[in-house]
Amino acid sequence: MTLSERDAMDTHDCQAPAQLQPAPQLQPEIMMRIASFLSPSEVACSLRVLSKATARLFPPAVLHFSKPVPTHAFATRWLRPGATRILPLARRRQLLHLTAASGVVANLEVAATASGVALDGSVLEAAARAGSLEACTWLRNRGCPWGPAVTTAAARSGCMPLVYWLISSGCPCAPRQLLTAAGESGNAELVEWLLSQDGLDYAFGAALGAARGGHGSLALDLLSRPMGALLCAADFAPASAGVGAGGGGGTPGGAVLLGGAAEVLGPAAALLALLEAGAQGLELGALQELHARHVDPFDSPLMLTELGVEAVRVVAAAVASPTGDWAAKTEWLLERGYPRSHRARLAAAQAPDAAPRLAWLAARGFPSHGTELELAGRRGDVAALRAAAGASGAAAAGPAPPSVRSWLPLPALRQALLAALRGGHVKTAAWLEACLRAAASQGHTGSGGSDARSDSEAEDAAVGEGGVEALPGAGEAAAESGSVPTMLWLAERGVGVASAGSRSLVAAVAVGCERALDYLVAHGCELEGDGHPYVRAGEGGDLATLRWLRRNGCPWSPRGDTLVRAIAGSTGTGGGEPAASCAEDGTAAAPTAQALSGLAGSGRGAGGGAGGGGEAGGPGAGRRHKCCCLAVLRWLEAEQCPVDWDAALRAAARRRGEGGDEEDEAVRAWVRAHHAAAVEAGSVRVGLDRVRGSRGRNAMPWDYLRDL
């Protein structure tokens, strides 16, 4: 069962509340009159289930979890045993987020219990994004940590009372992200109130958000303000350019600073952010007006030269735009001299209606990178795959013709097939396997006609001839999907998920589907004995999978460092800033509009921008890692996970988790309290003798199963 904003719960699952008496037999006209005073969800879950007559009178309906659902129906659906056993972690977390967005606290309590997912800052952020003050208050009282992402989400909802409550309650905020999100909501009153606060005078960021949200009048009004133009130049020019050195304070509008040839790097980066945001959210008329005010007064070819190869981002934003005139905007930009690029196809592949957009781009000669095939495969979108391959839309529903199959390069097909397996899309995987075999039989490897075949091309040919059976990583990819039907489909073709060994099980642990874990264990996958599965499940806040691991005898680490690793987190970059990407010519890429609008550092130059809030430190100082939240750490400690509290104290001191500073400090306080108690008890090494014992540090992992 998949969960989304569009499909939630069939009313066949609803049952009448047990305390209600049998409904009297009323005339249909009276029942219809009663229904006119009820919401659609109440009709579906309360009125329709009263009798067979009302069931015939009112048709079944699909309810949306992001909207209020009658509490009795919600509890009936999700509190029954095994209700979420077939759902992976992502879907269970989505259930929690959508219920938080509905604002019904009683249902949120049920979802928190049924989902088996720890309440963390992301749930509070989901409630804030929907503007639900009641849900935010309940979650905060339950100990959910908050941070700048929560205030930003609230501002994006446009709910001024919620933003005011968060700020007045001390929730941290990132000023520029906050203004950008407020502009995106289109709430001019909220934008003006925020701009009036100390340290939030950042009209250009609000203008970026307004343009991205499709609010052209608000964006143009904000851009006409002198302070917005000054901050634009001061924030985005390099320190050596001296843009913020007091100059430009009397500029009547943003055009000179946005489009002037002087101080090229700062204004060009700001212009790129503005045009990208406008191409994404504004309709063609508003985009043309934005262009006329801030580009046309100057030499347009010169501006495109200043923007360089990064001008392709503007076209990509237009292609992925949610507005109905995305094609007209793209045509207009191309006529203005904006370049074609494979980035446009990548952007189109991520749109909800990817197939027509990809077909439109292919017909106009946009180059392909092959990655759009992988994106479409991950989504299970065969129509988008055919469009990416250049097939005609008329045959999108049928089998792929040989001409299309022979066009597809084998390396791209391999990656698309693996992506389809990871996404659990069996029909898409079967379609791609047929394409793979057909392309291999016609000798098309995507090598560009070279006579010499590399080892990689030979491997591609072998996979094409052998199908999914010869595809490296197929079993592990299916395990990552958490989909038992996908694993069964592979098994029918002689590919066992157990062939990848413990990697398959660890991948399934991260996905968090109990049904898939049962299947893997039943087919020979063994649990790792180093405690790593606990850390992987804990990093996702997946209490349900943690309980599954414990029930099935997964051992702690023989070194006794399971809880310490859970505190410190993984070694990945986590939520830190991504490394600078490279442009198509190999130069450093300019920041995207989202990155530019989210910069949080001190203002440059003596002009004194509205800076503050940037993190000090050298490279990597702002980097955060995936760490287990406090609820998971408490669970591990309650399950008597062995721990060296000295090591735990050191790990907590250097922790920088994705949950933010507040959660990190709560973890440190928890560790300090336990460390002090352990010191008072005379031993900071709790339970280590149970995993080491007399066998020593080098004993095999399964030897410790008997000690647990």
Instruction: Dump pLDDT digits (tens) for 136-189.
Output: 999 999 999 999 999 999 999 999 999 999 999 999 999 889 999 999 999 999
From residue 83, give the alpha-carbon distance in Å to each of 66, 189, 366.
19, 44, 46
| pLDDT tens per residue, range 632-690 | 999 999 999 999 999 999 999 999 888 888 899 999 999 999 999 989 888 777 767 66
Is the whole model's pTM more than 0.85, yes or no? no
**Has residue 442 got a pLDDT over 80?**
no
Any bridge partners for residue 582, and if so which? 588
Q: What is the DSSP string of 426-448?
A: HHHHHHHHHHHHHHHHTT--SST
- Residue located via tokens 């304070």: 249
Residue 609 reports pLDDT greater than 50: no
Between CA 669 and CA 673 the distance in angstroms is 6
Which of 120-129, 340-349, 469-478 is predicted least confidently?
469-478
Measured between alpha carbons, how far is 517 from 199 in angstroms, rounded to an integer?
Answer: 51
Instruction: Provide the H-helix boundaries in 282-353.
Output: 284-294, 300-307, 312-319, 326-335, 342-349
Alpha carbon distance 528, 668 (integer Å) = 29
Quick one: average pLDDT of 271-278? 90
What is the distance between the alpha carbons of residues 325 and 669, in angstroms, rounded to a whole number? 54
- Taking the C-alpha atoms of residue 602 and residue 176, their distance in angstroms, rounded to an integer, is 11
* SS3 (DSSP) at 245: coil
Please tell me the distance from the alpha carbon of residue 22 to that of residue 12, in angstroms, as a whole number: 19
**Longest CA span, the chain:** 82
Instruction: Give tens-digit pLDDT for 18-61.
Output: 554 555 677 777 878 887 787 787 777 777 777 777 777 788 87
User: Vertex 304, ends 299 and 306: CA angle to 5°?
Assistant: 95
Q: How confident is the model at residue 298 (pLDDT cuts 50, 70, 90)?
A: low
CB 237 within 8 A of CB 244: yes
Q: What are phi and psi of 9, to 5 degrees?
A: -145, 125
Query: What pLDDT is stored for residue 299 in this prediction?
Result: 62
- State the Cα–Cα distance between residues 483 and 472, nearest whole angstrom: 19
pLDDT at 355: 94
Q: How many CB atoms lie within 10 A of CB 372?
A: 27
What's the confidence (pLDDT) of residue 454?
54
E-state strands within 9-82: 9-10, 62-63
Tokens of 401: 């013709």
Residue 595 C-beta-side C-alpha neighbours within 13 Å:
14
The residue type of 555 is: P
User: Which residue has tokens 């029909």?
Assistant: 427
CB 514 within 8 A of CB 85: yes
* pLDDT tens readout for residues 246-263: 333 333 333 333 433 233
User: Are 583 and 308 a contacting pair, CB within 8 Å?
Assistant: yes
**Residue bearing tokens 């091309």:** 457
For residue 476, the model assigns a pLDDT of 87
Residue in 658, 636, 670, 659 with CA at minimum distance from that of residue 565: 636
**Distance separating alpha carbons of residues 378 and 384, to the nearest angstrom:** 11
Higher pLDDT: 495 or 49? It is 495
542: helix, coil or strand? strand
**Amino acid at position 377, single letter:** G
What the block records as the tokens of 197 is 């606060």
- Cβ distance 385 to 439 under 8 Å? no
Residue 406 burial (CB < 10 Å; 0-12/13-18/19+)? middle
Q: What percent of the chain has pLDDT over 70?
A: 72
Position 322 scores a pLDDT of 96
How confident is the model over 499-547, as pLDDT tens digits? 666 788 888 999 999 999 999 999 888 887 888 999 999 999 999 999 9
Q: Note the residue count of the chain.
A: 708
| Residue that is written with structure tokens 């067979």 in the block | 52
Nearest to 97 by CA among 209, 8, 187: 8
Q: Quote the pLDDT of residue 276.
A: 93
Residue recorded with tokens 């080098």: 698
Mean pLDDT on 100-108 = 95
| SS3 of residue 644 by DSSP | strand
CA distance 688 to 463: 48
C-alpha 406: how far from chain center? 34
| CB neighbourhood size of 46 (10 A) | 20
CA distances from 512 to 93, 106, 250, 266, 553 (A): 11, 25, 58, 46, 17
Check if the beta carbon of residue 211 is closer than 8 Å to that of residue 282.
yes
Helices 216-223 and 188-195: crossing angle in degrees, nearest 10, is 20
Dig out the tokens for 521 from the structure: 């264990």
Interatomic CA distance for residues 134 and 129, integer angstroms: 13
The reported pLDDT for the residue numbered 232 is 43
DSSP states of 490-519: HHHTT--GGGGTHHHHHHHHHHT-HHHHHH
Residue 639 CA to residue 646 CA, distance in Å, equals: 19
In the predicted structure, residue 694 carries a pLDDT above the cut 70: no
Neighbours of 101 (CB within 10 A): 24
Q: Quick count: other Cβ atoms within 10 Å of Cβ 652?
A: 23
CA distance linking residue 11 with residue 64, whole number of Å: 11
CA nearest to 248, candidates 258, 239, 269: 258
What average pLDDT score do residues 593-618 get?
A: 34
Which of the listed ranges 143-147, 230-234, 609-613 does the model predict with the highest average pLDDT? 143-147
Which two three-digit tokens encode residue 382? 């065969």
> 127 pLDDT exceeds 80?
yes
Domain boundaries, the chain: 9-89
pLDDT at 395: 38
- pLDDT given at position 523: 87
User: What's the pLDDT tens digit per position in 376-399?
Assistant: 999 999 999 888 876 433 334 445
Q: Is the pLDDT of residue 600 over 70?
A: no
Q: Are 272 and 311 in contact (CB under 8 A)?
A: yes
Mean of the pLDDT values across residues 273-280?
Answer: 93
Tell me what the pLDDT averaged over the chain comes to. Answer: 77
pLDDT in tens, 549-596: 999 999 998 888 999 999 998 653 333 332 323 333 333 333 333 333
Query: How many C-beta atoms surround the C-beta of residue 27 within 10 A?
Result: 8
